[in-house]
Amino acid sequence: MLSKSIETLLNQQIKIEAESSQIYLSMACWADTHGLDGIAQFMYTQSDEERTHMLKLVRYVNERGGHAQITELKAPKTMFNAFQEMFEELYKHEVFVSESINNLVHETLSEKDYATHNFLQWYVSEQIEEEAQAKTILDKVNMIGDDKGGLYLFDRDIQQLPVMNALNFNAK
């Protein structure tokens, strides 16, 4: 059984994961309208992954006797001056999500909620991968700078990136 405080924090994380999905979806739309097909496909895939993260939390909260709350979301940014700006924001957002997960894990230990602590370890590992991937992509983007040929190659190559996740919806 979840404590009310842990249930509240998990519901806040559900909202963060939903907003993450929306952020990636908005980035995909921007890339799509700027002829960046590879980046768009990458962002669509990431959006789906974030929604899966949200659904895992929803199911966990409900299965543990809580009530997952689906709330209004903050609208994501829809316009970017350049693809570099978009990837900088993506990296900053992943750092924010990691901090949120870490705070949630800390609270589960404070309350001796070892079941939720154990459940959240998957998210801790996932965020390590997400941050590393975002940082690697940002480093490559910064190397490209304003080189149109480099952007063309990057847009093509990003489609080949292995998606670092476990999109197993039924995993608990």
Binding-site members for Fe cation are 17, 50, 53, 94, 127
CA dihedral 95, 148, 143, 50 (to 10 degrees): 20
Q: What are phi and psi of 8, to 5 degrees?
A: -60, -45
Task: Name the residue among 135, 137, 140, 161 with its Cα closest to residue 150.
Answer: 140
- Bind-site residues: 17, 50, 53, 94, 127
**AA identity, residue 119:** F
> Would you call 76 helix, strand, or coil by DSSP?
coil
> Would you call 171 helix, strand, or coil by DSSP?
coil
> Would you call 34 helix, strand, or coil by DSSP?
coil
